[in-house]
Structure 1
Amino acid sequence: MLKTFKGCIYCFGFLTISIYVAMFLIRMVQRFLPQAKRYSTDMSNPIVSVKQGKLKGSSQKLFDGSTYYSFKGVPYAQPPIGKLRFKAPLPPQPWPGIREAIDHGPVCPQFDMTTLSINEGNEDCLFLNVYTKSLEPSSRLPVIFYIHGGAFMSGSGNDELLGPRFLLQHNVILVTINYRLETLGFLCLDTPEVPGNAGMKDQVAALRWVQENIEQFGGDPKNVTIYGESAGAASVTYHLMSPMSKDLFHKAIAHSGVCTNDWAKGVNDRERAFKVGKVLGKKTNDPHELLEFLQGVPAVKLIALTRKVRTDDETIRCLP
């Protein structure tokens, strides 16, 4: 009887421990299941869920041999084409299935300062890139939001020149962006439809995307530093003053430029727009008529002729 009783105790103890272990495992699965939905377990091509859908990225190595994850060519706004040309960006549309984010999106049409020629690019160019060492939302890593320079005429967020490999060794997330350049980004008709600075509003849209989604990449939306060089630095100081950018970032680094520099301020913006129209064969004083006409001009032709009609004073300045 005693042996039977002891055997029952042992059985009961084993059963109790088994139940607690099972409960613990269930709780652990429940705890981490939401995390599993955010990204895949195949970390060679991780999948992250953002507001618009799922993204498939890639894994690469830093100089120190550690792994980081990149998500390139992520749309942060609708393509600014057709009737949306020259206008403020609209929020991106959701996509079905899994969108590949392995390669950079196309650069915006621009005058390439390295080749001194026009790069046709693609007007569907409002993409950003995210580089991170962690995909755990609990990581709460600081975010560097980089705005490229290039006199508001050239450049992109691509990593050929300014990649993530140095910064990510300091446990931050890097976000780089494309924004509209030249006439496509800074045409001003001084109307409610086209008041100007669409390229700056692209930057604001990208900052808003970061606030909505960066947590899924291990970033802290409450610790975003905007960092720009040259025209990017001028952009940073414009954001410091603009109510549009309020609460979208928390720190700022302006490297080699501010918005009060002469080269960072546009002159004769509205007059230049009508001058471009006249050179293209459209003589009108109606901004709405001019807008409809310019929206139909090929981007390459528009950039080439805009450069020709600038005065010497306008040529040395940027466009906002």
Structure 2
Amino acid sequence: MSNLSMDPAFAPLAKQPRVVLRDPNVAREALSAARLGTRALSESDLEIKDYDVLSSDEERVQIPVRIYRRKNAVGSLPVLLYFHGGGFFCGDLFSEESQCVHYALNAQCAVVCVAYRLAPEEPFPAALTDCYRTLEFLWSESRDLNLDRDLIAVGGSSAGANLAAAVALLARDRMGPKICFQMLLIPALDDRLETMSARQFTDVPDFGRSEAEVMWRWYLGEHAHDISPYAAPARAKDLSHLPTSYVLCAGLDPLRDEGLDYARHLTEAGVAVELHLVPSIPHGFASIPSAAISKRLLKEQVEVLRGAFSSKSEQL
């Protein structure tokens, strides 16, 4: 048993009886219903533009992309390419809109959100293909988009953090667009689920081991074998020459230890890493944005992004 206690602000995340994931469409409908009647922050200070990015000449898939920036922003902006969470099977351009708006208004950057293809209908590598293609689009079209391609960061939450880490690995290995920073929030990185936290946290609120097992099965496919490190970045043997990183781990999260391990392996590979472990929060803490800890962590993420862009800009 763990002696960790959960911040009472996150008690609403506990569901009894626990919902069993069987149908991704049911989960998607629940997410949409929870969002009804809500809106992010006021858009009066924002410029929002939508694009359809062509995935490839072979697939001809249109990837919906949304770019947020301040209306009064001057010059080419640093950019955060942000991938939403949702277990690889949920989420869209709007599911983490509040965070994207907050980053755009406060971190002095443009924020790009991607509606990548979802599992299990489109298992790995569909989502990663969409995310990496969007990175290429931002790089090649940076002048027209008024973005600074020397200051591109990737980030995401949970499954989105997996995709951010995988995009950084792909960009390095393909000698593709340069990424200056990666922000990995409560990352899902290891399909093996062999860590202590993965074994321990089976009945924590919102997201426990059983949900993680379904997430990976849907993302990788029912009969997956020889799992690629681009699907599960914890399997990567070489983490050298990756961008400076920020890793946030939740103490009451089955994914906690794989995030901690990834941060350690990055450090051992010579990558500069800032690691933040918050012991009293569950995986889905950000869905209670009114909680004091959620507000503090969102403020910290803004400061981390501003610092990363500022530091890199000084080196150029």
Q: Same fold (TM over 0.5)?
A: no
TM-score relative to the length of structure 2 = 0.43
Q: Highest relative contact order (Cα 8 Å, sep 6+), 1 or 2?
A: 2
Q: Which protein shows a greater Rg?
A: 1
